[in-house]
Structure formats: C-alpha cells, structure tokens
Amino acid sequence: MTPENYVPDADALINIHRHFPGELELLFQVAQRGRLLLVGGVYREIRRGTDRLGATVERWVQAGVMPVEVDRDETLRNASARIETAYGQAVRVGRHVYQGFWSSPAGRRAADAQLVAVAGVNRWTVASDDRVVRAA
C-alpha cells in the first residue's frame, strides 16, 4: 500500500499544535520525506500568528521544507484561479449549497483555493476539517 501525501490547511496544523503538539515533529519528518506540502498562503497565515506554531513552521522552512508558491507555477496558478471562480461564492454538492471560500474572515485572500489547487494538481489529500474545502 502506497503511503498518502498530504496538503494541510492552517486549521489542521493549528488543531494538531493545540491538541497533539508532540505530533508536529512527526509532521516535520513527513514533510522532509516529501509527503506533506505546505502551501505558501497557509505558511503565511500561520506565520502571522505569534505563537509557537509559527516559530515551528518557520524552523521547518529553515530546514528545507519550502512552501509551494502557487503564483510561481503556471499550472497551479491556473488551477487556483479556476477553483476560486468555481467555489468562491458558493459550493454546491448535490442539493446542498454551502457558502464559498470568500465567506471566510480572510475573504478573497483566503488560501483555500490554493490549497485545493495544489492538492488537486498533485493528486494529494487535503487535510482539513473545513466543510467548504472538503466539498470543493
């Protein structure tokens, strides 16, 4: 069985940090093996915080776990723009309609479309408990 590859959102990392802080070292090891991608927007969101998680993620970057910058890759940029357009205002799953990415406090600056684009293009699994991200 092939191990999974993950693209976590900021909330996933924040929740792991809060509830299972010792597991961040395991995630770092997973990231070093290339099985966890850190999206640039997620990295910046975490770094804006002043807690230990921001410092921890900064150490990851200093150790070589570089965030994926969507704007620097045409395929990712196009995928992110398409996803942003499709799911910015609303996400429809069957008969259910959910508020889209733009309804979050970050609005159009949210990294959700980037996260979904990076995971989709690479065929990786998004690690998120956000209903809209999972639905998209």
Q: What structural domains does the chain harbor? A: 6-135 (3.40.50.1010)
Average pLDDT score over residue span 24-50: 90
User: Which residues fall within 8 angstroms of residue 87, CB to CB, at 6 or more apart?
Assistant: 100, 101, 112, 113, 116, 132, 136
Comparing CA positions, the residue from 18, 31, 20, 19 lying closest to residue 59 is 31
Q: What would the two tokens of residue 20 be?
A: 């299972």
Q: What CA–CA distance (Å, rounded) separates 33 from 36?
A: 8
Q: What CA–CA distance (Å, rounded) separates 20 from 13?
A: 10
Mean pLDDT, the chain, whole residue set: 88
Residue burial 113-127, b: 16+ Cβ < 10 Å; e: rest: bbbbbbbbbeebebb
Pick the residue with more confidence: 40 or 98?
40
The conformation of residue 66, written as its DSSP 8-state character, comes to P
pLDDT digits (tens, 9 = 90+) for 78-126: 999 999 888 888 888 889 888 888 776 666 666 888 999 999 999 999 9
Per-residue pLDDT band at 22 (split at 50, 70, 90): confident
Comparing CA positions, the residue from 38, 35, 39 lying closest to residue 83 is 39
Say what the pLDDT of residue 50 is.
67
Q: What CA–CA distance (Å, rounded) separates 67 from 104?
A: 22
Average pLDDT score over residue span 54-69: 92
The length of the chain, given as a count of residues: 136
